[in-house]
């Protein structure tokens, strides 16, 4: 089977959330598929990371730390910016087209046989297939450890079939309410489903509602709770600004601050900037420290320092410097209200006096109106656009959702035209901010040639 055929068959299954309305989540189905594949998920140790915001950044930082420690490290994340291969990586290198096609063929033939033999009621979903492909790839390549980002929720997510060495829960907020519940406690309950009996859970204090659910789950499972709060630097009006310009940073900025880690002083220098990212880095440090106590002896303070510095997680406040052809661009995936607040806060430091032109698009099932009310007041002008995705809101739908915001909103039929209009509006001194859906950000990065 060719790579092109494999990708076409994956997308023919529909979007990873598309079939959840008619097919209920059931980890038993995932276990049947994996057993037929000889349980690849049992052939490597793993860390499992759930949360609403920050789980991808935490996963990427932790994977970079583990790689800097000399460990062959798998990383499974979702969704992707441009290519599906981005979701499955070993030591930062994405799975090759040939490996993806070969493993997809195995997993797909296995799934079809199980359906024919009535071992499965229907063909596995897009996300179940991709998760099985990742597990098989990591097992074949004999990774020392894999860092797995939960796709959605946690309790019934396809990744939750592993027995993690460490479970990590990032910040919990409202998102995917159609599938996870309408309240913070309901959503937190789904995230807390990755906690194992007598297991280790790394987290941080957050809203009282989320804290109650996560804390009670930890108690009921007799798990060990590890707070990463000691690794979050304090921020107060008297504190220095942690966001600094750096020639070494691909995006032009880093967050830099001192910490004591594993009894030694280090300087954290992360390209993931913003107050919210300080929490994600802290979670990654705490998780790495826990792993160092479980036989991964090469994890050291020096490796943690280096791994944080070398983290690459594109599309998260990534800056493309101005060129003769285009003004400065900020790419940031802010796909829900919590992400929008994080972006607004981060923009305030380096771009407080800048003229901002927004290119914005979002999925129809997101809280577009609330996101617009958070972000659009910062903008001199907004270009609403969309991508070729059945879930993508049209520019007209975005304008309607943002009707209470007074900023001028123009419609652009696609990302290419939105970028062209934004370039004209920004002139030579403005800054273009591309945000909203990861698919909007990914398409814009592809068009402008930013590093993925």
pLDDT digits (tens, 9 = 90+) for 40-54: 999 999 999 999 999
CB 272 within 8 A of CB 234: no
The pLDDT value recorded for residue 178 is 53
Structural tokens at position 402: 């943002």
CB 73 within 8 A of CB 145: yes
pLDDT-derived band at 114 (thresholds 50, 70, 90) equals: very high
**Tokens 């002896």 belong to which residue?**
297
Mean pLDDT lowest among 64-68, 136-140, 316-320: 316-320
The SS3 of residue 94 is strand
The pLDDT value recorded for residue 348 is 85
pLDDT-derived band at 174 (thresholds 50, 70, 90) equals: low
Considering the chain, what is the average pLDDT of its residues? Answer: 92
Residue 19 in this model has a pLDDT that exceeds 50: no
The pLDDT value recorded for residue 265 is 97
- The residue among 239, 242, 233, 426 whose CA lies nearest residue 350 is 242
pLDDT-derived band at 415 (thresholds 50, 70, 90) equals: very high
Q: Give the span between the Cα atoms of 372 and 370, in whole angstroms.
A: 5
pLDDT-derived band at 137 (thresholds 50, 70, 90) equals: very high
Structural tokens at position 376: 């659009």
Mean pLDDT lowest among 162-166, 346-350, 380-384: 346-350
Q: Give the span between the Cα atoms of 20 and 4, in whole angstroms.
A: 25
CB 272 within 8 A of CB 316: yes
The pLDDT value recorded for residue 386 is 95
**Residue range 3-309, CATH number:** 3.40.1190.10
Domain chopping of the chain, boundaries:
3-309, 318-448
* Digit-coded pLDDT (tens) for 226-282: 999 999 998 654 454 565 655 445 556 888 999 999 999 999 999 998 888 999 999
Average pLDDT over residues 137-163: 95
- The residue among 381, 334, 374 whose CA lies nearest residue 359 is 381
Average pLDDT over residues 300-312: 97
- The residue among 80, 108, 109 whose CA lies nearest residue 95 is 80
The pLDDT value recorded for residue 311 is 97
Q: What is the DSSP string of 11-22?
A: HHT--TTGGGTT
Tell me the backbone φ, ψ of residue 253, rounded to 5 degrees.
Answer: -135, 150
- The residue among 374, 379, 365 whose CA lies nearest residue 341 is 374
- The residue among 326, 325, 395 whose CA lies nearest residue 360 is 395
β partners of residue 226: 202
Average pLDDT over residues 184-199: 94
CB 33 within 8 A of CB 122: no
Residue 22 in this model has a pLDDT that exceeds 70: no
Q: Give the span between the Cα atoms of 450 and 103, in whole angstroms.
A: 30
* Digit-coded pLDDT (tens) for 269-287: 999 988 889 999 999 999 9
Q: Give the span between the Cα atoms of 253 and 156, in whole angstroms.
A: 38
**Residue range 318-448, CATH number:** 3.90.190.20
The pLDDT value recorded for residue 382 is 98
* Digit-coded pLDDT (tens) for 368-413: 999 999 999 999 999 999 998 888 999 999 999 999 999 999 999 9
Q: Give the span between the Cα atoms of 438 and 78, in whole angstroms.
A: 10
What is the crossing angle of helices 126-140 and 3-12, to 10°? 140
CA dihedral 294, 309, 339, 219 (to 10 degrees): 20
Q: Are 3-309 and 318-448 in the same CATH fold?
A: no
Residues 6+ apart with CB under 8 A from 302: 264, 266
Q: Give the span between the Cα atoms of 258 and 124, in whole angstroms.
A: 47
């Amino acid at each position: 089977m060719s790579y092109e055929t494999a990708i076409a068959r994956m997308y023919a299954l529909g979007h990873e959330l598309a079939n959840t309305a008619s097919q209920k989540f059931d980890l038993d189905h995932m276990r049947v598929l994996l057993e037929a594949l000889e349980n690849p998920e049992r052939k490597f140790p793993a860390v499992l990371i759930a949360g609403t915001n920050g789980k991808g950044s935490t996963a990427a930082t932790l994977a970079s730390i583990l790689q800097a420690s000399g460990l062959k490290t798998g990383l499974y994340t979702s969704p992707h910016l441009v290519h599906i291969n981005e979701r499955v990586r070993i030591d930062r290198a994405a799975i090759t087209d040939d490996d993806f096609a070969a493993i997809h063929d195995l997993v797909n033939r296995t799934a079809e046989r199980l359906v024919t033999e009535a071992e499965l009621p229907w063909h596995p979903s897009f996300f179940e297939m991709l998760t099985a492909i990742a597990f098989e790839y990591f097992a074949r390549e004999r990774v020392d450890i894999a860092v797995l980002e939960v796709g959605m929720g946690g309790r019934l997510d396809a990744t939750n079939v592993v027995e993690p060495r460490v479970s990590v829960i990032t910040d919990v907020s409202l998102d995917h309410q159609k599938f996870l519940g309408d309240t913070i406690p309901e959503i937190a309950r789904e995230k807390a489903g990755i906690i194992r009996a007598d297991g280790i859970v790394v987290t941080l204090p957050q809203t009282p509602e989320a804290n109650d659910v996560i804390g009670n789950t930890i108690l009921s499972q007799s798990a060990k709770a590890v707070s990463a709060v000691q690794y979050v630097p304090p921020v107060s009006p008297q504190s220095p600004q942690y966001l600094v310009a750096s020639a070494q940073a691909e995006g032009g900025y880093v967050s830099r601050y001192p910490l004591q880690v594993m009894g030694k002083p280090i300087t954290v220098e992360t390209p993931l900037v913003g107050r919210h990212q300080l929490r994600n880095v802290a979670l990654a440090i705490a998780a790495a420290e826990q792993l160092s106590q479980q036989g991964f002896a090469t994890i050291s303070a020096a490796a943690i320092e280096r791994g944080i510095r070398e983290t690459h997680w594109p599309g998260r406040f990534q800056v493309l410097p101005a060129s003769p052809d285009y003004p400065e661009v900020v790419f940031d995936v802010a796909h829900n209200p919590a992400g929008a607040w994080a972006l607004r806060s981060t923009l305030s430091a380096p771009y407080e006096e800048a003229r901002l032109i927004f290119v914005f698009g979002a999925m129809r099932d997101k809280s577009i109106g609330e996101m617009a009310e958070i972000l659009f007041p910062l903008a001199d002008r907004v270009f609403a656009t969309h991508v070729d995705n059945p879930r993508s809101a049209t520019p007209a739908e975005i304008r309607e959702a943002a009707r209470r915001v007074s900023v001028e909103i123009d419609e652009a039929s696609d990302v290419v035209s939105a970028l062209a209009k934004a370039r004209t509006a920004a002139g030579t001194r403005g800054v273009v901010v591309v945000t909203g859906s990861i698919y909007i950000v990914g398409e814009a990065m592809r068009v402008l040639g930013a590093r993925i």
